[in-house]
């Protein structure tokens, strides 16, 4: 009974509705059919209004809502008057009892949440490909065997639906009934269904549909009764298109169509990966040739130390060709998606909904969850909003799928449900005297839901729109599209998409603006559909589990460090993820009313003021794309993180804080950079200034000067492959500083010392760096945290206090006792051995820092 209840719940029923349906109709399929007909819509929770949990036998997470009226033997007791249900959907009180003493009717989904902490193990049979001849094409086509039909399904209940439908629509050696379609008039005549009738994978979807149109209408040779070959029932007089006759047909069309989409998508992915591998190998060979010709320069570290030295230019050849190939592939898969989408259950179908739209086959949801979800997750994991905007045709079609699915009561529940991904598989060969059977043991694990993946992109879209709006005058912005324009950005006529979803006449700004609005409109529609079908409480709980981007420092909340280091690590990553990107006010309050141009707490204040009223379209688009990337892609980890603060009204004004990576002399220090996206951004690199110098006294690295200069080829301050217009990003600059400058052996970053790894000079340089880091990047940072990172720095040190104390003890033991030198270059000179070993204040600094950590 528990398994049958779970099956009905996965179709959209509440636990109470499922029990009521199974009580009246013992067969789960019949119960599902009556539920979809609306027979149990009036059934809600019991009259006490309590929601209880149902524990799945196959998982360790809460799956459902169950009542607790069980006796000691575990059997459900019947309450007197149990047929009297509360009308949760009452128009009068909106589902809530009002007045003195009235009780609140619980949300029927209160116990339902979709946890990713799931793992399922499934055994699948590996079958040899079977090819058959069909009259419609000259070549043999592959047959979709039962194993292929059911592959990728991690849910036991859903497997039974797939198995049942496949058996019904094809002959079987295991049963005398499967595959037999009797005449519905009862004349005794039968027709046998072959596997190739419904499960042959044709070269294109249109040919498959044409084939079905030719075989689905059947006429009994004995009594001349016309009936449907898929369900065996008589055709109604009003049936205009035989393919819309029954849910069996709709499900098999979706199943085969999605299989064709998945196969095409995987094929294109393999081709792209193969091409990328070939290109990487070609670049490696070219790099080796350069190194052989020039052992001092090249891309190696012999000359440059930080991986950017040399005179080699970025090879951008072939980009246009690769882009054209990608667009051609996108067009092919978009067209196939549009053709198959025409058969999705939809109550908003042009010309009116069909019977199968109201009552889809239970396996339709299964097809979407195991095949469409995999494609959607691949596309939505794209971390580049700019790439999505450039490929808007494919992504608009994807959004159409998501909107159509979310609008149907039977399908919308898959939007917040975790996608079960194949994380490992093992092939087992079983041999017998008669045959060899290959089985695959596959482990599926819960991952982000379609709605969660969409939220990450929506955050990027919001950031991009903010960049466009704050960089342009209101009159220059494209007009806000209407709701109909947003929803119908892709028009499908007879299953074929328009050639262009956005007119080529639109400039890049308008295209990005329209794409972002379209994506946010889809997100809003999904939430609106879920609210209508599941209720506000359900959607509010879902939103609490979605990724978030704080928009102001006022959103910062206190984070508990926990009792163990593992607790601290988990808390740190969760906190850093939520606070890595924020908008804030970086302006200086005006003291003179005569000057209307704002000043900023920023090194590049003069340059910022000069561009106060600038309107540079290409720059606006570049900044919008940059913000989209930074919003959700800044690296955060216990070992090292990057935090950004962007001015609320001038998004080209940025401050950055990088925490030093583990295993380096910079570990856990806080390093501040001022960043400005200038007038020529992204044609030229951003302006970056290093600020953690204690007023210009300390030089922490050969590539970080005491005056704040940052030496990096991406910034044009060092030789080597430089900034590539409209391709390079600020994120690349920040990660390069984090990984290549704040490195394990900074002494090697100086070109003349690059071959001195592990030498006494290098060790002395690192020891001196550690002394500077403790004094400036730790102690001073904690005593006088720079704006606007006060809370970030305090939280960083508070959550890592135990770990930092152990780190400092180790550093003190490793210290060579020499004096702190503001410029470590002195350790490389001829007189380095004569530098006296005197009290250097290192222990005193560590003790002072330890006291501050205790106070935190």
Q: Which residues are catalytic?
A: 711
Distance of alpha carbon 288 from alpha carbon 309, whole angstroms: 15
Decide: 144 and 132 in contact? Cβ < 8 Å: no
Spatial CA neighbour of 677 closest among 604, 742, 743, 606: 604
In the DSSP assignment, the letter for residue 268 is: H
Distance CA 83, CA 62 (A): 27
The Cα angle at residue 378 between residues 375 and 379, in degrees rounded to 5: 90
By DSSP bridging, strand 653-659 and strand 670-676 are antiparallel
How far is the C-alpha of 543 from the C-alpha of 417, rounded, in Å? 13
Residue 596 exposure: Cα atoms within 13 Å on the Cβ side: 2
Q: Which of 560, 562, 789 is nearest to 659 (CA)?
A: 789
Please state, in angstroms and rounded to a whole number, the distance separating the CA atoms of residues 791 and 760: 39
Rounded to 5°, the CA angle 485-490-491 comes to 95
Distance CA 111, CA 60 (A): 14
Radius of gyration of the chain from its Cα atoms, rounded to whole angstroms: 32
Given a contact cutoff of 8 angstroms between Cβ atoms, the answer to whether 692 and 776 are in contact is: yes
158: left (phi over 0), alpha (psi -120 to 50) or beta: alpha
Distances (CA, A) of 169 to 132, 161, 195, 390: 17, 13, 7, 43
DSSP 678-729: -TTTTTSPPEEEE--STTTT-B-BTTB-TT--B--GGGTSSSSS---TTT--
Within 10 A of 364 (CB to CB), how many other CB atoms are there?
25
How many Å apart are CA 209 and CA 219, to the nearest integer?
20
Contact between 199 and 256 under an 8 Å Cβ cutoff? The reply is yes
Burial of 174 (0-12, 13-18, 19+ CB in 10 A): exposed
3-state SS of 31-71 is HHHHHHCCCCCCCCCCCCCCCCEEECCCCCCEEEECCCCEC
- Residues 205 and 262: beta-carbon distance below 8 Å: no
In 676-691, which positions are buried (b, 16+ CB within 10 angstroms) versus exposed (e)?
bbbeebbebbbbbbbb
Using a 10 angstrom Cβ sphere, with 0-12 exposed, 13-18 middle and 19 or more buried, the burial of residue 171 is middle
Give the HSE-up count for residue 696: Cα atoms under 13 Å, Cβ half-sphere. Answer: 2
Assess contact for 108 and 44: CB atoms under 8 A.
yes
Cis preceding-peptide flag for 118 (omega within 30 of 0): no
Rounded distance, CA 619 to CA 624, Å?
A: 9
How far from chain centre, in Å, is Cα 64?
26
CA 642 – CA 647 distance, rounded (Å): 17
Choose among 756, 675, 682: nearest CA to 723. 682
Closest CA to 151 of 143, 159, 160: 159
CA-to-CA distance for 642 and 183, rounded, in angstroms?
70
């Amino acid at each position: 009974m528990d398994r049958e209840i779970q099956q009905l719940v996965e179709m959209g029923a509440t636990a109470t509705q499922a029990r009521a349906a199974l009580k009246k109709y013992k067969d789960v399929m019949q119960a599902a059919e009556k539920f979809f007909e609306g027979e149990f819509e009036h059934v809600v929770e019991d009259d006490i209004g309590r929601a209880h949990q149902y524990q799945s036998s196959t998982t360790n997470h809460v799956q459902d809502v169950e009542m607790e009226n069980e006796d000691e033997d575990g059997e459900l007791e019947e309450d007197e008057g149990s047929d009297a249900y509360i009308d949760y959907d009452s128009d009068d009180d909106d589902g809530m009892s009002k007045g003195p003493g009235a009780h609140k009717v619980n949300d029927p989904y209160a116990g339902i949440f979709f946890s990713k902490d799931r793992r399922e193990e499934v055994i699948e049979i590996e079958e040899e490909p079977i090819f058959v001849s069909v009259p419609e094409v000259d070549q043999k086509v592959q047959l979709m065997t039962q194993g292929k039909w059911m592959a990728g399904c991690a849910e036991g209940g859903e497997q039974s639906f797939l198995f049942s439908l496949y058996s019904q629509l094809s002959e079987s050696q295991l049963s005398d009934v499967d595959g037999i379609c009797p005449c519905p008039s009862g004349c005794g005549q039968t027709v046998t269904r072959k596997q190739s009738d419904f499960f042959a994978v044709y070269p294109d979807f249109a040919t498959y549909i044409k084939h079905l149109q030719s075989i689905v209408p059947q006429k009994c040779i004995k009594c001349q009764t016309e009936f449907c070959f898929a369900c065996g029932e008589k055709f109604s007089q009003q049936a205009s298109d035989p393919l819309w006759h029954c849910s069996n047909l709709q499900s098999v069309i979706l199943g085969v169509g999605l299989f064709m989409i998945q196969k095409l998508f995987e094929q294109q992915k393999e081709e792209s990966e193969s091409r990328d591998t070939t290109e990487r190998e070609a670049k490696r060979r070219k790099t080796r040739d350069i190194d052989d010709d020039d052992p001092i320069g090249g891309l190696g570290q012999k000359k440059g130390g930080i991986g950017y030295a040399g005179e080699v230019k970025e090879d951008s050849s072939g980009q246009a060709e690769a882009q054209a190939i990608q667009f051609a592939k996108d067009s092919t898969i978009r067209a196939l998606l549009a053709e198959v989408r025409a058969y999705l259950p939809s109550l908003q179908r042009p010309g009116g909904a069909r019977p199968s739209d109201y009552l889809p086959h239970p396996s339709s949801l299964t097809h979407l969850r195991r095949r469409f979800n995999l494609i959607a997750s691949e596309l939505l994991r794209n971390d580049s909003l700019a790439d999505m905007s450039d490929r808007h045709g494919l992504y608009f079609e994807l959004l159409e799928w998501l909107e159509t699915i979310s609008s149907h009561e039977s399908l919308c529940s898959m939007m917040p449900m975790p996608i079960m991904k194949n994380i490992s598989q093992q092939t087992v060969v079983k041999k017998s005297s008669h045959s060899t059977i290959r089985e695959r043991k596959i482990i599926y694990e819960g991952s982000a839901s379609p709605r969660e993946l969409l939220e990450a992109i929506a955050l990027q879209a919001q950031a991009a729109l903010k960049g466009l709006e704050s960089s342009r005058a209101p009159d220059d912005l494209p007009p806000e599209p209407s709701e109909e324009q947003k929803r119908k950005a892709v028009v499908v006529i007879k299953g074929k998409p328009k050639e262009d979803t956005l007119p080529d006449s639109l400039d890049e700004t308008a295209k990005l603006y329209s794409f972002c609005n379209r994506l946010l409109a889809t997100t809003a529609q999904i939430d609106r559909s879920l609210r209508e079908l599941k209720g506000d409480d359900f959607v509010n709980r879902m939103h609490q589990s979605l990724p978030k981007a704080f928009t102001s420092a006022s959103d910062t909340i206190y984070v508990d460090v926990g009792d163990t280091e593992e607790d601290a690590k988990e808390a740190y990553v969760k906190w850093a993820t939520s606070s890595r990107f924020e908008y804030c006010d970086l302006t200086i309050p005006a003291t003179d009313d005569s000057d209307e141009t704002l000043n900023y707490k920023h090194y590049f204040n003069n340059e910022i003021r000069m561009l106060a009223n600038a309107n540079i379209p290409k720059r606006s688009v570049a900044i919008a794309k940059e913000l989209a990337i930074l919003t959700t892609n800044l690296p955060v980890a216990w070992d090292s993180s990057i935090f950004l603060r962007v001015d609320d009204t001038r998004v080209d004004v940025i401050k950055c804080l990088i925490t030093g990576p583990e295993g380096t002399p910079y570990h856990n220090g806080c390093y501040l950079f001022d960043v400005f996206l200038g007038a020529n951004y992204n044609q030229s690199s951003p302006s970056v200034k290093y600020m953690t110098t204690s007023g210009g006294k300390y030089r922490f690295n050969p590539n970080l000067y005491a005056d704040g200069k940052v030496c990096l080829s991406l910034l044009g301050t060092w030789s080597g492959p430089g900034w590539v217009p409209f391709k390079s990003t600020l994120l690349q600059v920040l990660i390069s500083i984090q990984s290549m400058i704040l490195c394990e052996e900074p002494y090697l970053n100086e070109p003349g010392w690059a071959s001195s790894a592990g030498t006494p000079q290098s060790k002395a340089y690192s020891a001196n760096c550690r002394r500077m880091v403790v004094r400036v990047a730790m102690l001073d940072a904690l005593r006088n945290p720079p704006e606007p990172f006060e809370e970030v720095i305090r939280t960083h040190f508070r959550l890592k206090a135990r770990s930092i104390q152990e780190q400092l003890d180790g550093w003190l033991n490793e210290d060579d006792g020499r004096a702190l030198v503001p410029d470590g270059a002195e350790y490389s000179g001829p007189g380095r051995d004569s530098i006296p070993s005197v009290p250097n204040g290192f222990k005193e600094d560590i003790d002072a820092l330890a006291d501050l950590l205790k106070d935190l």
